[in-house]
Amino acid sequence: MARFAAETRTVNFFREQGFLAGRVDCFNHKTKRTRDLFGIFDLLVVGYPGFPTLFVQATAGDGGNHAARRWKVLSSKDALATLEAGNGVAIVSWRKGGAAGNRKLWTPRIELLTAEDWDM
């Protein structure tokens, strides 16, 4: 699954749950690269329980990709400042799975980060 598919899938997932969600990364046509908000976040979700705004890093793959994105977020002082301002910070990764012989479905793994995660 391409990076954009993970972001689109995540936006659709949160919208289906009744939240206001949208992408906040931007594409630079000159360099042909996408730049994340603060170099970290792909999406914003408004109205997520417990937070005025949830800042999301979306990725495909549940294993190494999730761990790499977690490290990326935890390495950022901007992410910690976002959390300390009362907002939520989450990593959403997707994997395709299901019982043998059944249709495989995309399933999100949502990890909400807390200030304690920065105390590694």
User: Which residue ranges make up each domain of the chain?
Assistant: 3-118
Say how far apart CA 22 and CA 85 lie, in whole Å: 20
- At residue 2, does pLDDT exceed 60? no
Architecture in CATH for domain 3-118? 3-Layer(aba) Sandwich (3.40)
Helices (H), the chain: 3-16, 64-74, 77-84
pLDDT, tens digit, 9 for 90 and up, residues 55-94: 999 998 766 789 999 999 999 999 999 999 999 999 999 9
Confirm whether pTM is higher than 0.85: yes
Q: Return mean pLDDT, the chain.
A: 90
